[in-house]
A and B are shown apart, each in its own frame.
Chain A
Amino acid sequence: MLTYTIRRLLLAIPTLLFISFIIFLIVKLSPSDPTAGLPLTIPPEVREQIRESLGVNQPVFVQYFRWLQLMVWNEPLHLIEGWTGWNVAPESTTRIISYQTRSPVMDLIMQRMPQTLWVVGISYIVGIIIALPIGIISAYRQYSWFDQLGTFISMLGFSVPTFFTGVLFIVIFAVNLGWFPSVYDTTHVVTDWDSFIVQLKQIIMPVMVLGLFNASQISRFMRASMLDNLNQDYVRTARAKGLTEKVVVLVHVLRNSLIPVVTVIALNVPAVFGGAIITEQVFKVNGIGQLLIIAIQSGDVPTVQTVSFIFAVLIVLFNLIADVLYGVLDPRIRYD
């Protein structure tokens, strides 16, 4: 298992290099100008100088390798320095700098990461917690009214896009009922009970929107996987041993059914981050997703490149985690 993991990690390196280069080319090919957002009064010579100083006139390969060097060497060193206080990093000029804000991209990401993690993470966990029991009961009582209702709601939750449910929730719960704020205030700090309630109120709607979507998907998976297993011969054996239905279903069947579901949950983590881009936009959560959208709009190549690369890393990483989990959960799988 360990050698397998190491081999997969090594294999991930060329994959990520390739992905990052493709992303770089695509971002570069887009006809955007980093000086387009500057005031019109700036004369063309100055604009040219700005472009020169940003390095955008250099050959694409040179720019790519410069970005790559900063990404895999300088930035990790800065990160280590930030955590440990050791003075290992080169001068602060040698970092990936955002065209738009002129500050290091990694700092922007680090500022925004907590918001995204809170909203995305909680909604994913809420989604899983809701989905698993629903999936189990739906399968055990297949075609009951509970199952029918669950099927209906998850079809809705799965097929209606989050930007629609998000706006719908805002109209109903924020505008008409006034229960929750429609904008997520990221500067809010939790210090006591009251501020915790405020935080809870503002996080409920984005979490509900994303959680509904996640729960719909996962509960379908859980149900299908349970149904697959409930008809297996080993379930009859378990009953023939005189075990209670609780043990038969929640030990024997569930343990088998969780294998594909856990894999799907792990595989879906990057997609959930991706999906959160929309939700962050709807609820004005200034997380990673919003950073990416603003960067795209203003032609901020280093930021777009870096955030996209982080998404690519997440996808590769969680693919590996899913495979490793599969091997851990299913004794029949051997990675040798």
Chain B
Amino acid sequence: MPDGGLPSVLDVKDLKTVFRTRRGEIHAVNNVSFHLEAGELLGVVGESGSGKSVTMMSLIGLLPMPPAEVRNGRVMFEGQDLLACNEDQLRAVRGARIGFVFQDPMTSLNPVFNVGFQIIEPLRKHMGLSKSRARARAVELLELVGIPDAARRLGDYPHQFSGGMRQRVMIAIALACDPKVLIADEPTTALDVTIQAQILELVKELRQKLGMAIVWITHDLGVIAGIADRVMVMYGGQVVEQGPVRELFANPKHPYTRMLLETVPSVTGERAERLQVIDGQPPMLAQSPDSCPFRARCPLAFERCEQENPKRVPVGPGHDAACFWDVDAGAPRDV
């Protein structure tokens, strides 16, 4: 429960997802906890492979099982634990109460059905609309996401849309049934920079109009800075730091967050000199999760980081980090 006392829309506790592979278990998501408040935009950052997608897919049973297995956790959404729901109950949530937008708009739409069919499908299924009502709503939705000449374009196939337009269609599908939560998994990564900016504008605008909460996954801190209320940084399948966007950008407490912020090109035009690449390899998720996942690349690592996996501790108002080293005191934290 957040500090304000209002119940969260989404409250995830100790989520643990592993992949069983021939070469052993991969701890893709390791004791992840976070919450999402009504109307809030939570940015999730972390380099590729840090478990962002797997975390979100675990919430509503979108992972292929096997090989995936959600081992532990509780996901409270609208009064029920999604991890305890059966397939039917989950299906009633997916696409209706929680909408999804994925990374690659080129492949995320079915190539052989026109976009009208693909938008109408969830409307008919979840809202029980008649064919003509669903059609009318589909036109509204396409207009809402800024597709010109919406009524005519319903009959068009995905390949007749540009990348940015397809992502708008995906957003229309995700928002079709007026969801409480929209999860956008790197929705602009595959797009040109200008198109990216347009999609960001669109989401900001839709959020004002519709008021849903949004989880925005990205590996681009620059995107997060302009749009998020709160940021959650992930590394090696864990949340390493979390806090309000200004606070976290001004006062990063985890060495990984600090390095990430240093790799962001300066906005003021100092150009790419400041752009450093983080040294070292991304974490091996196959290893057992009882030491800090970042220790091998961490400039501040000491013995304790080998022996224990740090828990998240409060480091500021609404701000926590999972590190044994207190960067302000320049000494180990006594927790």
Contact = CB atoms under 8 A, between A and B. Distances in A.
Interface stretch (A2-10, A232-240, A306-314): A232-240
A252 interface: yes
Given A239-B94, A242-B96, A331 B125 contact: no
Contact of A232 (B91, B96, B107, B174): B107
B94 A244 contact: no
A130 interface: no
A329 interface: yes
A330 B91 contact: no
A234 B110 contact: yes
Contacts of B122: 241-243
Nearest to B61: A239
A244 B99 CA distance: 16
B111 interface: yes
B161 interface: no
A236 B107 CA distance: 10
A201 interface: no
Interface in A198-237: 232-234, 236-237
Q: Which 7 residue pairs across A and B have the least CB separation, nearest first?
A: A242-B95, A241-B95, A242-B94, A240-B100, A233-B107, A234-B110, A331-B157
B333 to A, nearest CB: 40
A256 B111 contact: yes
Interface string A240-255: 1111100000001001
A242 B85 CA distance: 14
Given A243-B125, A255-B113, A331-B157, A237 B108 contact: yes
A259 interface: yes
B91 A242 contact: yes
B102 interface: yes
A240 B112 contact: no
Highest count of chain B CB atoms <10 Å: which of A241, A243, A330 = A241
Contacts of A256: 110-112
20 contacts: A232-B107, A233-B108, A234-B108, A236-B102, A237-B100, A237-B108, A237-B110, A239-B94, A240-B62, A241-B121, A241-B122, A241-B125, A243-B95, A243-B125, A255-B110, A256-B111, A330-B112, A331-B111, A332-B111, A332-B159
B144 interface: no
Contacts of B111: 234, 256, 330-332
A303 to B, nearest CB: 45
B170 A237 contact: yes
Interface of B: 60, 62, 91-96, 99-100, 102, 104, 107-114, 121-122, 125-126, 157, 159, 170, 173-174
A45 to B, nearest CB: 71
Given A233-B104, A243-B91, A238 B125 contact: no
A241 B126 CA distance: 9
B94 A331 contact: no
Contact of B157 (A238, A240, A332): A332
Interface size class of A (residues with CB under 8 A): 20 to 34
Interface of A: 232-234, 236-244, 252, 255-256, 259, 329-332
B112 A255 contact: yes
Contact of B62 (A236, A255, A331): A236
B185 to A, nearest CB: 10
Given A237-B102, A237-B170, A240-B94, A331 B110 contact: no
A181 to B, nearest CB: 46
Grouping DSSP codes into helix (H, G, I), strand (E, B) and loop, the A interface class, with mixed when no group exceeds half, is: helix
Contacts of A243: 91, 95, 121-122, 125
Contacts of A329: 112
A240 B110 contact: no
Nearest to A255: B112
A237 B109 CA distance: 7
A235 to B, nearest CB: 8
Contacts of A331: 111-112, 114, 157, 159
Contacts of A232: 107
A238 B173 CA distance: 10
Given A237-B100, A237-B170, A332-B157, A242 B109 contact: no
Nearest to A333: B159
B280 to A, nearest CB: 31
Contacts of B99: 240
A304 to B, nearest CB: 44
Highest count of chain A CB atoms <10 Å: which of B60, B110, B170 = B110
Given A233-B107, A234-B107, A256-B110, A239 B159 contact: no
A179 to B, nearest CB: 45
Highest count of chain B CB atoms <10 Å: which of A237, A255, A332 = A237
B28 to A, nearest CB: 16
Contact of B102 (A233, A244, A252, A255): A233
A46 B104 CA distance: 81
A18 B91 CA distance: 59
A259 B112 CA distance: 10
B223 to A, nearest CB: 21
A233 B187 CA distance: 13
A241 B94 contact: yes
Nearest to B103: A233
A239 B100 CA distance: 10
Contacts of A241: 94-95, 121-122, 125, 173
B125 A242 contact: yes
A215 B95 CA distance: 38
A336 to B, nearest CB: 14
A335 B157 CA distance: 16
A233 B112 CA distance: 14
Contacts of A236: 62, 102, 108
